[in-house]
């Protein structure tokens, strides 16, 4: 990872899913670059472990965390409120938390879990914090997506909850496509508000992402381990989108290896991004 110590000094970053893998690598690097960092995760113990690591690596770093489950809409609303109550600016929101399940599971809200965490959690948290991002000087939204979207096919708006013929990889791929479509629509809506939105493919990252995500994920991680990137390498494009002046005015793109890429019409129909936004508003009871 390219070091750029101090490049984030004076900027506040809110990062979800920071306790392992890519998220942990990003948290360590952002703290070293001087960011005022706030994390969101599900485990207080894991948060404290990362906080200790940050203190050891970067004495004097400012790092706080909030505990919440992004699969619970009440938790998302609570942690968003807790962040706003900190009365801090928000320069960068990095939506990174994600999962994949072997079998179909539902959240406390009765929604299919992969779609709820990987997309609706991003959608709701971002919208709850948009005013704070708009108040920043060039606020940025970064979403960890994946080129796994290519294997999910187009979104099936008649079955976004994957109630028929559940396939873990297809559902995961579609949740990553949802990240890309959300990014596109957010960028369009915020084009006059000074907030940019971009997402990126981290590559196949060697991490413990699979530990809490079922047997299928563990098998896939084991098979792919010889070809996997390090978490630090996987985080590079996200860090570039969060910090680089080169992309300050760039918005609405899916980045791969630091470069913007187009999403093919084989998985995206005209109007899909707008329709996903509308459905997401309904599913989260949020109107922008």
**What count of other Cβ atoms lies within 10 Å of the Cβ of residue 259?**
10
Give 158's contacts (C-beta < 8 A, 6+ positions apart). none
Read off the pLDDT band of 263 (50, 70, 90): confident
Query: Which pLDDT band holds residue 267 (cuts at 50, 70, 90)?
Result: confident
- pLDDT over 50 at 2, yes or no: no
**Per residue in 158-210, pLDDT tens?**
999 999 989 999 999 999 999 999 999 999 999 999 999 999 999 987 655 54
* Residue 266 pLDDT grade (very low, low, confident, very high; cuts 50, 70, 90): confident
Give the residue carrying structure tokens 């990126």. Answer: 200
Residue 156 has what pLDDT?
95
CATH class of the region 12-281 = alpha beta
Q: Please identify which of the residues 122, 149, 166, 172 carries the catalytic annotation.
A: 172
pTM (global) more than 0.85: yes
What does the pLDDT read at residue 5? 43
- Confirm whether 172 is a catalytic residue: yes
The residues spanned by each domain of the chain are 12-281
Is pLDDT of 133 > 50?
Answer: yes
Q: Which is more confident, 137 or 15?
A: 15
Greater pLDDT, 155 or 287: 155
pLDDT tens by residue, 204-255: 876 555 455 556 556 665 555 556 779 999 999 999 999 999 999 999 999 9
Could you tell me which residues come within 8 angstroms of residue 270 by beta carbon, excluding any fewer than 6 positions away? none
The two structure tokens encoding residue 200? 């990126």
Q: Look at residue 220 in the predicted model and tell me its pLDDT.
A: 60
Helix, strand, coil percentages, rounded to 5, for the chain: 45, 15, 40
- Rounded to an integer, what distance in angstroms lies between the CA atom of residue 60 and that of residue 200? 30
Q: What is the mean pLDDT of residues 115-129?
A: 99
User: Which pLDDT belongs to residue 3?
Assistant: 46
Rounded distance between C-alpha atoms, residue 264 and residue 205, angstroms: 24
Q: Is the pLDDT of residue 112 over 80?
A: yes
Query: Tens of pLDDT along 26-56?
Result: 999 999 999 999 999 999 999 999 999 999 9
The answer to whether 119 and 280 are in contact (CB under 8 A) is: yes
């Amino acid at each position: 990872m390219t070091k750029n110590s101090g490049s984030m000094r004076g900027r506040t970053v809110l990062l979800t899913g920071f306790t392992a893998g890519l998220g942990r690598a990003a948290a360590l690097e952002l703290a070293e670059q001087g960011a005022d960092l706030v994390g969101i995760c599900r485990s207080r113990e894991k948060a404290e472990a990362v906080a200790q690591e940050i203190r050891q690596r970067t004495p004097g770093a400012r790092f706080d965390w909030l505990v919440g489950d992004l699969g619970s809409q009440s938790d998302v609303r609570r942690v968003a409120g807790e962040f706003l109550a900190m009365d801090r600016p928000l320069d960068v929101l990095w939506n990174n938390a994600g999962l994949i399940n072997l079998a179909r599971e539902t959240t406390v809200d009765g929604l299919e879990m992969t779609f709820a965490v990987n997309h609706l959690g991003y959608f709701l948290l971002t919208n709850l914090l948009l005013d704070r991002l708009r108040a920043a000087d060039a606020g940025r939204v970064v979403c960890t997506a994946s080129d796994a979207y290519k294997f999910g096919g187009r979104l099936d708006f008649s079955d976004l909850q994957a109630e028929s013929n559940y396939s873990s990889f297809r559902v995961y791929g579609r949740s990553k496509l949802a990240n890309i479509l959300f990014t596109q629509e957010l960028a369009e809506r915020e084009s006059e508000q000074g907030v940019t939105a971009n997402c990126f493919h981290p590559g196949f990252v060697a991490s413990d992402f699979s530990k809490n995500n079922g047997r299928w994920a563990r098998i896939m991680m084991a098979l792919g381990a010889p070809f996997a990137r390090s978490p630090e390498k996987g985080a590079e494009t996200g860090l570039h989108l969060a910090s680089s002046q080169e992309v300050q005015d760039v918005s609405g793109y899916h980045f791969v290896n630091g470069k913007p890429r187009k999403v093919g019409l084989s998985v995206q129909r005209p109007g899909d991004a707008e329709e996903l936004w509308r459905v997401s508003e309904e599913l989260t009871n949020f109107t922008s």
